[in-house]
Structure 1
């Protein structure tokens, strides 16, 4: 198998966890095939993060540290990745199935004429370096097995919070290569000049390790304060069902589900959410699911690891206080 190339997504100069997960997946495949693992990092003032990629398992790191590429552009980033892949003996390109990865991955595959597999939860490799990818479909109701017919320029995006992160190796020897020959931004169809950050500093749903979501069972928008209090205690993000969003209780950016965001946290707590298939499509891959609902026949209980049948207005405050007590005792 040739080189495995990992696009290492960063935001504001800091690598996202999914970049390390993709590197971990690459390292695991490399151990089976004797492939080398290279990482690409693009941005501004990212030298220290390039060092981190070395410690996390990259044999080689391609560094594009240029103010002109500080902001994501699918055309520019896609060209950079494709050019490096062509230059190297690249068999596989990995990146996270984030909003950026979902946009960038197919474009890179199209530029290289290679196969693409999205939102993968498992990757295997045969003796020839051809990838077999496992990916859920229809809200996790079925599992799709996708096999590549080539070992050249295969592209896969990996579902966040599924693959393991390597332990840091302070003694890892890595080759760093600064890429100076870059796409001419004046020839790009669009260039991002500035990104205006939202005043909202809450944890991003797609990156959260713990999510507490509320549904129509909350009965009124002001009752989301219960959800927010529990989330704050846990250091969690706040989500909402489509019903809650359609009712105007939360913006669409909070929505988890088929027409909202797909999340894979370690812990997902569903409060007053019946668990329609559309909602399950966005959260069924969570490691642990806790459901709180007064209806014992709610569909959410069929996929929950733990279920509490009862009044959320009584249970959620008790749960919040219990967690606070435990934290204070530590």
Structure 2
């Protein structure tokens, strides 16, 4: 079985979700090759994880990346094409699948093999159920960040440089300017610890307790849609269906009831601690530790204990 990985970068670093795809190859017991576009130094970074790399310095953009990936798929003829489930890859994946008549599965959280067949697991109906999908023929698959562990360094597998000529007729869009937003500094997708607050925090002053706990743990602040709509924190921190899909090692849900719109965006977390005064809150159904109590009384105690632990 051959697997082609599209390794996405931001021009300066490799996105963590893309590196996790290397670990998926071990699960599949397959032969893997990675495609890196744009930055030669980042191709070296990927090759250091023991996977052969195809590198091209073609300008990065959705149209050009689609062409480069399509050409690489034709040459490599892989059984599976894996991409991280980023906004860019969610745009590229269906283009490749449609253009080359391939199967396409998005937002996959698990990959397994059964009787020689590959099974893709992904959430459906807002995360309320998991569906298992089998694709006949080659599949283009986007994988949710955090579904696999980060790979370990290995012997450098080498880089093959490739020149791809792209006709102007394929370039439908042109980036003329980039405006950096605050969201770029809020890296929820790659955070190992996230402390999120919801409507149950009560007001903006109480929400500062969420921010303080996140600082004490060296984590990132998350929030539900109601907290953002009330102006307690910027939309860049939103976790859920209409926000960011996250899978940290630790997720602390403060004053969050557990509506599907939110839990579908954080249910992949390794360990979930939930604090809510309602013992029937749906969030407790997916929590590893459930704390029933007033969040404004519980958080100060947690913050104090975290500070003591760090001081020791």
> Which residue of 1 is the match for residue 270 of structure 2?
287
Question: 1:143 aligned to 130, 154, 160, which one?
Answer: 130
* 1:49-60 paired onto structure 2 within 5 Å: 49-58=42-51, 60=52
> Which residue of 1 is the match for residue 148 of structure 2?
163
3-state SS of paired residue (1:206): coil
The normalised TM-score by structure 1 is 0.87
Shift of 1:200: 5.8
Question: 1:173 aligned to 154, 157, 161, which one?
Answer: 157
Aligned partners of 2:250, 2:231: CA distance in 1, in Å? 26
Alpha-carbon distance change, 200 to 79 in structure 1, aligned in 2, over 3 angstroms: closer
Say whether residues 1:104 and 2:96 are aligned partners. Answer: no
Shift of 1:242: 1.9
Q: Is the 8 A contact 2:50 2:157 kept in 1?
A: no
Say whether residues 1:297 and 2:292 are aligned partners. Answer: no
Greater shift, 176-185 or 80-89, is seen at 176-185
Aligned partners of 2:230, 2:37: CA distance in 1, in Å? 41
Count of matched residue positions in the alignment of Structure 1 and Structure 2: 312
The normalised TM-score by structure 2 is 0.92
Q: Is the 8 A contact 1:231 1:237 kept in 2?
A: yes
3-state SS of paired residue (2:25): helix
Aligned partners of 2:179, 2:96: CA distance in 1, in Å? 27
Greater shift, 190-199 or 219-228, is seen at 190-199
> Which residue of 2 is the match for residue 63 of structure 1?
55
3-state SS of paired residue (1:160): coil
> Which residue of 2 is the match for residue 82 of structure 1?
70
3-state SS of paired residue (2:239): coil
Structure 1 residue ranges without an equivalent (≥5) = none
* 1:2-41 paired onto structure 2 within 5 Å: 3-29=2-28, 31=29, 35-41=30-36
Alpha-carbon distance change, 144 to 127 in structure 1, aligned in 2, over 3 angstroms: closer
Q: Is the 8 A contact 2:18 2:83 kept in 1?
A: yes
* 1:149-228 paired onto structure 2 within 5 Å: 149-150=136-137, 152=138, 154-169=139-154, 171-174=155-158, 176-185=159-168, 187-199=170-182, 202-228=185-211
Alpha-carbon distance change, 173 to 213 in structure 1, aligned in 2, over 3 angstroms: closer
Q: Is the 8 A contact 1:270 1:290 kept in 2?
A: yes
Aligned partners of 1:202, 1:319: CA distance in 2, in Å? 26
Aligned partners of 2:77, 2:256: CA distance in 1, in Å? 49
**Cα-Cα RMSD:** 2.1
Aligned partners of 2:184, 2:265: CA distance in 1, in Å? 22
> Which residue of 2 is the match for residue 306 of structure 1?
289
Aligned partners of 1:321, 1:228: CA distance in 2, in Å? 14
Alpha-carbon distance change, 65 to 27 in structure 1, aligned in 2, over 3 angstroms: farther
Question: 1:244 aligned to 227, 247, 272, which one?
Answer: 227
Shift of 1:328: 2.2
Q: Is the 8 A contact 2:193 2:219 kept in 1?
A: yes
3-state SS of paired residue (1:253): helix
Structure 2 residue ranges without an equivalent (≥5) = none
